[in-house]
Structure 1
């Protein structure tokens, strides 16, 4: 079967999406259509079509007069996405774990050990990648492909936001590794779908709670700093007390 080359619109879409997900184009980055078109050697039409697709996926927002920008993030959006992922992944884990093979369990343990080493090395970028790999080993054994696709879509939204709670709160990484050990144990002894789903869901929600605590503290510190700068101060002139 002959494989046709991707269309200009598909190339533009994949290029822009990859740059957003990898963080090359961060939140609020303005996408200049003419510049991208010149770089890819295409007209502006495929770029506009790609932007419309990315807007539908929530990765790009188009504002009147200012054009297309990578979607900005806020704490509420991150919390909503993470809580949705907790529900979806919890159910998917319960549906998948009885399909795990001995090789899958070995891969889970090895990945978690690699996460432990990355944590010791303070390589949180690698840690985050391994964390996603850990959950993907389980997810690929889920027979509900619609559910899996939805989880991947939610994860992409999180990737586009470029927010890793492990970078904000490194101590959460150690707790997450311990929870992975417990999840492996629960699945290996087959405690039942309900128990596995509850634990897998709570595992994600624990990350959400850690982020909320950090965000509350961060918001309070920012407010206190702003008030400090706004507060009137006496100007002390040399010799004024003499």
Structure 2
């Protein structure tokens, strides 16, 4: 069951509600988001709707097109692959630097995050899963000791989380290999095995990208199984 939220403003209410609908796949990539319709549905004026859409656009979830309105983002395969190429380079460097600097506290936080990640997956709570998944990668970036690198990693995490929202088969799978991959990364870090940690991170990101499914790819797979 979804926990009730406290909203500070009408814009916050609209933002949270739209974001929830996007993450739970009630809205589809490329779908139009007419301000008037949303305002009527949620019982607010168009001003908070506009503010909420701008906030979602800053996160990459929505595209606001001048003289055309807003619509849900719909990244193509090339955009996804390009983003993951950048992410792989950034996170490979981050984990390489982190191996020698990682503290016991960092390791405990990583272990706790994996446990929380597993719980979120069992509950099929994608909002929580994205939060703890991002936290796992952010902890490693912070442990690198390079603030500029950590900022770049945080930026690319936000971008690739958008792809997870739209194209990850989160709600359709019974097991999540990403959790086991995270555990393996933690074990390599605990052993201070730099090369293994880097190799595992590269493999993890490659597999994560491969798991993303575009709607047209799903349609082809469905047709092949019929």
TM bucket normalised to smaller: 0.5 to 0.7
- Deviation of residue 39 (structure 1)? 5.4
**Unaligned regions of 5+ residues in structure 2, if any?**
1-8, 40-44
Q: Specify the SS of the correspondent of 1:148.
A: helix
Give the TM-score taking structure 2 as reference length. Answer: 0.66
Tell me which of 14, 19, 22 is aligned to 1:22.
19
For residues 118 and 23 of structure 1, the distance between their equivalents in structure 2, rounded to whole angstroms, comes to: 15
Larger radius of gyration: 1
- Deviation of residue 58 (structure 1)? 5.6
Q: Specify the SS of the correspondent of 2:84.
A: helix
Q: Counterpart of 1:163?
A: 166
Q: Counterpart of 1:210?
A: 211
- Deviation of residue 85 (structure 1)? 2.0
- Deviation of residue 204 (structure 1)? 1.2
Q: Counterpart of 2:219?
A: 219
Matches within 5 A, 1:59-208: 61-63=63-65, 65-119=67-121, 121-125=122-126, 126-161=128-163, 162-163=165-166, 165=168, 167=170, 170-171=173-174, 173=176, 175-192=177-194, 194-208=195-209
- Paired residues, number: 205
Give the TM-score taking structure 1 as reference length. Answer: 0.62
Rate the CA distance shift 1:218–1:60 in 2: closer, same or farther, 3 A: closer
- Deviation of residue 96 (structure 1)? 1.9
- Deviation of residue 206 (structure 1)? 1.2
Q: Tell me, yes or no, if the aligned pair for 1:58 and 1:71 is still in contact at 8 Å.
A: yes
**Unaligned regions of 5+ residues in structure 1, if any?**
1-10, 229-242
Q: Counterpart of 1:236?
A: none
Rate the CA distance shift 1:200–1:159 in 2: closer, same or farther, 3 A: closer
- Deviation per CA, 1:14-64, whole angstroms, max 9, x where unpaired? 969x6699356765444649x99x6558xx9xx7xx95xx57x86654546
RMSD of the TM alignment (CA)?
4.2
Q: Tell me, yes or no, if the aligned pair for 1:105 and 1:184 is still in contact at 8 Å.
A: yes
Q: Tell me, yes or no, if the aligned pair for 1:104 and 1:137 is still in contact at 8 Å.
A: yes
- Deviation per CA, 1:103-122, whole angstroms, max 9, x where unpaired? 22122122222333444x34
Q: Specify the SS of the correspondent of 1:143.
A: coil
- Deviation of residue 153 (structure 1)? 1.8
- Deviation per CA, 1:182-226, whole angstroms, max 9, x where unpaired? 11111111122x4322221211111122335x868513146669x
For residues 118 and 16 of structure 2, the distance between their equivalents in structure 1, rounded to whole angstroms, comes to: 29
